[in-house]
Amino acid sequence: MKKIQMVDLKGQYEDIKKEVNDSIAEILDSSAFINGPHVHAFQKELEAYLGVKHVIPCANGTDALQICMMGLGLQPGDEVITADFTFAATVEVIALLNLVPVLVDVEPDTFNIDIKAIEKAITPKTKAIVPVHLFGQCANMDEIMELAGKHNLYVIEDNAQAIGATYSSKNGKKQQAGTMGHVASTSFFPSKNLGCYGDGGAIFTNDDDLAHIIRGMVNHGMYKRYYHDVVGVNSRLDSIQAAVLRAKLPHLDTYNRKRAESAAKYSRAFEGQEHIVVPKIVGDSHVFHQYTLKITNGKRDALVQHLNDNGVPCGVYYPVPLHRQKAYLDSRYNEADFPVTNQLVEEVISLPMHTELDDEQIQFITKLVIDFVNK
């Protein structure tokens, strides 16, 4: 059996080696390392793939989120609601901009932000909601957009984990993750579903004015060369990373399909297991950035150890709720408001998930998990 990896970037590279190497060689030959033609071409290709009017590439997914909030003109003291169960980047940029993070609980089945919890957290100071499409499945965007409309709030989708996922609305319209809110961010970190070979990120929006503001903001607040109208940042996607992404974008749907197929195999193997809850697919699409189980008989930590002892990497995303992280402690939080997140951090475990998993590996992993959990 091939060695099992959490994410097999090497195996994936072997398959597209020529495309990637040719693409990178072109950059080296042209020496257009910053803002070269590949960056522009990638932007256009991603706009076409997503069906969104504007893609603004930037340096990473964390910058992308921060720039979304700067572009919307959020001001110190404005409250921004986001999920308690997510990667810290989401709340970090809110705090960095001196906005007020308001963490709320998530749903037990999808791990995504809970609409009722959002509703409860809205105050006259609330300006935006940041749903995170966690582990590759869209948050409940119909209800989020409706609630945001009612309260005049911006919606910033954190789409770092769900690029290529789709969402079907009640009205029958099917849209790409990251194109439904006012603005969205994504990350091209190597292990993400569309990953480059370093850092990268992008912002998406259908709003022409906001796109214009953001294009200047990522470039030192410059709209005309050496005229700085607003305080911006320096956040660029390297040409070399754009070249890698151009080679990989045509494969994204295949990659996501492979992930979903592996997820289906895992879930089939775990069928009928009393103490193992498999991830629930609620809409028409889940791109499985992570395949995350809940182990309900208290053996999660022991299982992590057991898998590691047997050469199977795994992850606990995430082991601590954000509201209990030192950096984000806030006396307004009440433990009773986070029953789901508080339980998830005890139960979740993510199994190896990437585009190169084979049946032998999946059988090996599922057998180890089932035998151990029932022991």
Q: Which residues bind ligand PLP (CB under 6 A)?
A: 60-62, 86-87, 89-90, 132, 158, 160-161, 187, 189, 199, 201
The minimum distance between CB 61 and ligand PLP, in angstroms, equals 2
In this structure, the number of other CB atoms found within 10 A of the CB of residue 2 comes to 11
In this structure, the number of other CB atoms found within 10 A of the CB of residue 186 comes to 32
The minimum distance between CB 319 and ligand PLP, in angstroms, equals 15
188 vs 338 by CB, closer to ligand PLP: 188
Handedness of CA 165, 19, 199, 354 (dihedral sign): positive
344 vs 368 by CB, closer to ligand PLP: 344
Return d(Cα 204, Cα 130) in angstroms, integer.
14
- Of all residues in the shown chain, the one whose CB is closest to ligand PLP is 61
Active-site entry in 192, 248, 258, 294: 192
Report the DSSP pairing between strands 183-187 and 154-158: parallel
The minimum distance between CB 66 and ligand PLP, in angstroms, equals 10
Return d(Cα 54, Cα 48) in angstroms, integer.
10
Identify the burial level of 170 via C-beta atoms within 10 angstroms of its C-beta, where 0-12 means exposed, 13-18 middle and 19 or more buried: exposed
The minimum distance between CB 188 and ligand PLP, in angstroms, equals 7
The minimum distance between CB 201 and ligand PLP, in angstroms, equals 5
192 is catalytic: yes
159 vs 239 by CB, closer to ligand PLP: 159
121 vs 184 by CB, closer to ligand PLP: 184
153 vs 202 by CB, closer to ligand PLP: 202
Calculated CA dihedral for residues 68, 73, 74, 75, nearest 10 degrees: 140
* 188 contact partners, CB below 8 Å, separation of at least 6: 60, 61, 194, 195, 196, 199, 200, 201, 202, 237, 241, 245
Q: Give the orientation angle of helix 37-50 with respect to helix 9-30, to 10 degrees.
A: 130
The minimum distance between CB 245 and ligand PLP, in angstroms, equals 13
In this structure, the number of other CB atoms found within 10 A of the CB of residue 18 comes to 9
Could you give the angle at the alpha carbon of 197 between the alpha carbons of 51 and 279, nearest 5°? 60
128 vs 160 by CB, closer to ligand PLP: 160
214 vs 369 by CB, closer to ligand PLP: 214
Handedness of CA 156, 88, 8, 290 (dihedral sign): negative
The minimum distance between CB 65 and ligand PLP, in angstroms, equals 6
Active-site residues, by number, are: 192
